[in-house]
Structure 1
Amino acid sequence: MTTLSLAMAAVVAVLYSVGFYLLLQRSLMRVLLGVVVLGHGANLLLQLAGGPPGRPPILDGSTDTAGMADPLPQALALTAVVITFAMTTYLLALGYRSWVLVGHDEVQDDLEDRRIARRRTVKASMGEELVDRGDEAGVDPGSAAASDDPVAQAPAGDRT
């Protein structure tokens, strides 16, 4: 049985925590860096799970499996590298497209989501049932037409 060193466990914990922190940021470049750091943490964790290096599993003709290396963590790490590369290229494309269209790579708040969250919070604090009034009128309950909120009903150019 192999033991995991405390230093390597700490490195994996730091990589995962930094990766998740960066994933929760609003900038797409920070999200990209979070994916990369998280991918490195996953690769290191998979290699640590494989245990210490051993003899090649296939090249040796003996049937003694005690000293052979486990090939599964190596295959999983290779798969994780490919997935991380694909996610990196996709996020780079999103960041570039956002930079070209908007001039920055920061993700904007959705005004409709904020309005719905504010409305649900007010109704829940008053103890009302959370049913939208647009249901019986044939109006989408989440749309601005079904709300009493003047910010949601204002034209897009008037919102500040």
Structure 2
Amino acid sequence: MAQFAAPECLQAIATPGVTTDAALVVLQSLISRMEAMTDGPYWVEHDQSKNLLTYHDLLQRFINHEDAITFRQSEIASITFPLKLQSVTQVDSKTSPAVQLADVMIGATIEAANTLTGQRGGSLDAQRVLALYADHQLIHMLPSIDFEEQKRFRQGTQATQVIDYFAQNFHK
């Protein structure tokens, strides 16, 4: 597979400090969705996670960022600073019924999605699980090869500006 890759891409991936970790994209998507779903300040409690701990300092920079600016990321997603998000706290799920419930809900949702996409068969009724959620409450990151649809979906976005702004304001 590597024989077909662009050498500059392979070189970038091999550069110390460069990561192919998609967690930042997922994190930005989640923040974008939570920001859209709330009218005022909110706080997040999350089960203890090594991955989330990796992004703790960056999350703090996002939360503390005071410049007023909005970026359109897609037809349905944008991110506006300052965030309404006030804090992210990691807790032991054994001491937090809310986090325990969230873990059960996300586990069931992941199983339902895996069942519907044929990745594996689950014992839950996938349709009944997903019916518990409104469409805007689900974030999926399924790749699409419908390039015309993707082009339309991302038309008018500010992807380049977001990357430049993040590099200027949030890079360590």
Q: TM-score, normalised by structure 1?
A: 0.25
